[in-house]
Amino acid sequence: MTAITDVAAYLAEFDDIPGTRVFTAKRARAGYHLNQFAMSLMKPENRERFKADERAYLDEWPMSEAQKQGLLDRDYNRLLDLGGNVYFLAKVFSTDGLSFVQAVSTMTGMSVEDYQAMMVAGGRSAKGARSIRDKN
């Protein structure tokens, strides 16, 4: 079979998927310090320092002001736009004591209860959520 060699065409397809931020190289570069900051919260002593003074701890990292504000606001969709990856951001919401279900629901515009009810009923259908262009 033929391997994909056109990087631009490969990446362009991802922008056609509704409600999804694929963790591309561009996002990985923009979010490098954001994600490494999040990784630092794996250590209990760093979690304590962050909780004691979030702003001061964030100021130790060479992040953009928008990234720092996104973190202070726990605005996860904004953080995805600014290069955050959910497995790294998970260190932030774990520090807050939130589960994946609780944190992920905040990105969907649904209440936790509605989101959980949707999952129990079989999850979000792929129908209509595959492609912006093809509306399928």
Residues that bind another protein (CB under 8 A): 1, 3-4, 10-11, 13-14, 17-25, 28, 32, 35-36, 38-39, 41-42, 76-77, 80, 85-88, 90-91, 94-95, 99-101, 104-105, 107-109, 115, 118-120, 122-126, 129-131
How far, in Å, CA of 124 to CA of 97, rounded? 25
* Exposure letters 5-40 (e unless 16+ CB within 10 A, then b): eeeeeeeeeeeeeeeebebeeebeebbeebbebbeb
Q: Whole-number minimum distance, CB 119 to another protein, in Å?
A: 4
Taking a C-beta distance cutoff of 8 angstroms, is the pair 105, 135 a contact? no
Q: Whole-number minimum distance, CB 68 to another protein, in Å?
A: 18
Judged by beta carbon, residue 68 or residue 91, the one nearer another protein is 91
Q: Whole-number minimum distance, CB 45 to another protein, in Å?
A: 12
